[in-house]
Structure 1
């Protein structure tokens, strides 16, 4: 979503959705569900793996409903208006080799105030996060239940499109997968958003100017999510991610909603891969995933005693375990949207099925 800045109110909705892709051979044979109807992480991974390897006849929008592994093509939402969810102002300055002192607000996650970012010294092809949410009864912002879940790459991607920038060496790409929930501009959808930062020229065809020297566009299509989540149902937000399969011509974002075998649904949107993540993974080295406010630099306000636990996992090849080197819990944020929670400590692990970082935030 948007990047927070100390400039006229503007922000980009950029979220990169990370797709969960786990080698099925490692986890087959584990039970499908818990006795109470809940799903174990192993059974969830098994199902995701089976769904994501199911044949898809063409690029488009899909969903899968547990326990079926069939990808069901659904009508996309085309041509959504571009509402920027951009980089924080201090990140913009850092990309230019400049800096500015920022006051720290301990009751804020995102924007210029901090978050945890997974950094890894390998070439990821899939990154996703699992959410565990408790104590939430209300989420407020400009509108009730308006928030976004975002997957954000590092804002330093290369792109042939930068050749037309006023200074091509200063231009960088940035990609997001975004679940926009109950937002006035998007409704409730999953989409990809792409940025050409510091373009400072007339934007290429198909891209729109944000009015501050950057160009932005949404993925060709967005996936409609049937029912907006509320304070009482946000705990069913299970996972979000991005996968860039080597050798393919597109990447995709995905969203998983449901917390038991009766409600689990996956949504998939296929992107346009303007930064060639499917063939140049070396440039994708960090990912931020969290729950924030809606587009335009909004803040999501959770009721007191809310807690969100987040585990971000990474793989260097779809369908197999990559190097198990421990990733890094880096500080910072790549989005202007925020929430009112306080970050706890972050731990990094390299010995699990996928290398991961894990942290919680609460109030």
Structure 2
């Protein structure tokens, strides 16, 4: 592509973030793989702008959608009802791993003074990562999806807030996860979905559609869209976005290179839009309290940016994560910044 053409395309993509909802019927043979060819800096800038745009362009309804660069049109795709695998809250802090390693509660969270409408998780810098293996953790029964390149990306709310979804149950709080999970149900394919929790709902029967984890908590998954399994060595190419709309849909978007995958469901499942002020993002084990173990010498920069109607820098709070999954990387210091999309950023390494 000629430089002049690239510049025009880039300008159009930047403006696309402000376009109204767009939609098209399904397209046969839409690409399921990210482009792997090397591109120049202008083209990469255009693709980055496209990825940002797709995170802001709402899908027209609940369901599953896909878009392929350079198009900013969401094409409806088949949804899959996947059997929920539990991604637990951190019940066993200090389960035997190094105290500094990330996850199982020991993680940084972004804390906002105003309601979050969107959170975007990225890995701006990834160095030294040559392998990753999902391993079971004894305190959680050794469960999860285990083996090479088994991990999950999670954007999590806190589990300290209650909404009307609790139906008046004393002590009940809501917890919502926006998830990308390789091999979640089908070997060789990843799932992009949301997992909903009613923590402390009690010993009575869970609401219709929710299962019980046996300890008084209820959970279920949204419909899932299918995405490619991305090796952990390519974390720098991916982006995970979670957004909520009061009275509308909550949406998870996973972007890998030049393809975006989304799944949307009603915010009324948990009413997260009415309480969301805390966000956690990281790469951790794939369900069941498992751990993502990276090779020695790995270093990953983690960034979580939000839209919250404010330009004030958020707080970055240590040891406040909400997922039971973990990794074997040691947390560094956390920095914050304000602006149009306030964020927290930290490095984890081993």
TM-score by length of structure 1 reads 0.76
Shift of 1:182: 2.5
Shift of 1:215: 0.6
Question: Take 2:178 and 2:39, find their aligned partners in 1: how far apart are those partners?
Answer: 30
Counterpart check, 1:125 vs 2:99: no
Counterpart check, 1:360 vs 2:347: yes
Question: Take 1:215 and 1:50, find their aligned partners in 2: how far apart are those partners?
Answer: 32
Higher relative contact order structure (alpha carbons within 8 Å, sequence separation ≥ 6):
1
Question: Take 1:308 and 1:38, find their aligned partners in 2: how far apart are those partners?
Answer: 25
Shift of 1:59: 2.3
Counterpart check, 1:111 vs 2:104: yes
Secondary structure of the structure 1 residue equivalent to 2:170: helix
Alignment partner, residue 260 of structure 2: 266
Give CA deviations for 1:11-34 in whole Å, capped at 9, x if unaligned. xxxxxxxxxxx9848999xxxx97
Give CA deviations for 1:284-338 in whole Å, capped at 9, x if unaligned. 111000000111000011111111111111112xxxxx31111011012111101
Shift of 1:57: 4.5
Partners of 1:24 and 1:50 within 8 A in 2: no
Give CA deviations for 1:89-123 in whole Å, capped at 9, x if unaligned. 268xxxxxxxxx887724521004x1110001011
Partners of 1:157 and 1:275 within 8 A in 2: no
Partners of 1:83 and 1:185 within 8 A in 2: no
Secondary structure of the structure 2 residue equivalent to 1:224: strand
TM-score by length of structure 2 reads 0.79
Shift of 1:269: 0.6
Question: Take 1:340 and 1:84, find their aligned partners in 2: how far apart are those partners?
Answer: 20
Shift of 1:162: 1.9
Alignment partner, residue 197 of structure 1: 199
Give CA deviations for 1:140-171 in whole Å, capped at 9, x if unaligned. 1221111000010011232323226xxx2311
**Matched length:** 304
Alignment partner, residue 256 of structure 2: 257
Secondary structure of the structure 1 residue equivalent to 2:272: coil
C-alpha RMSD of matched pairs (Å): 2.8
Question: Take 1:330 and 1:51, find their aligned partners in 2: how far apart are those partners?
Answer: 25
Change in CA separation of 1:23 and 1:354 when aligned onto 2, cut-off 3 Å: farther
Alignment partner, residue 128 of structure 2: 135
Alignment of 1:1-363 (within 5 A): 24=15, 35-36=40-41, 39-40=44-45, 44-45=48-49, 47-49=51-53, 52-53=56-57, 56-78=59-81, 80-89=82-91, 105-106=98-99, 108-112=101-105, 114-132=106-124, 133-141=126-134, 142-163=146-167, 168-183=169-184, 187-200=189-202, 201-219=204-222, 221-225=223-227, 227-236=228-237, 238-246=238-246, 248-258=247-257, 264-273=258-267, 274-278=269-273, 280=274, 283-316=275-308, 322-332=309-319, 333-350=321-338, 352-363=339-350
Partners of 1:134 and 1:235 within 8 A in 2: no
Partners of 1:151 and 1:176 within 8 A in 2: yes
Alignment partner, residue 10 of structure 1: none
Structure 2 portions without partners, runs of 5+: 1-12, 20-37, 135-145
Partners of 2:123 and 2:300 within 8 A in 1: yes
Shift of 1:179: 0.6
Change in CA separation of 1:116 and 1:208 when aligned onto 2, cut-off 3 Å: same
Secondary structure of the structure 1 residue equivalent to 2:179: strand
Give CA deviations for 1:26-46 in whole Å, capped at 9, x if unaligned. 999xxxx97346633x86245
Secondary structure of the structure 1 residue equivalent to 2:207: coil
Question: Take 1:23 and 1:127, find their aligned partners in 2: how far apart are those partners?
Answer: 19
Change in CA separation of 1:199 and 1:245 when aligned onto 2, cut-off 3 Å: closer
Partners of 2:307 and 2:340 within 8 A in 1: no
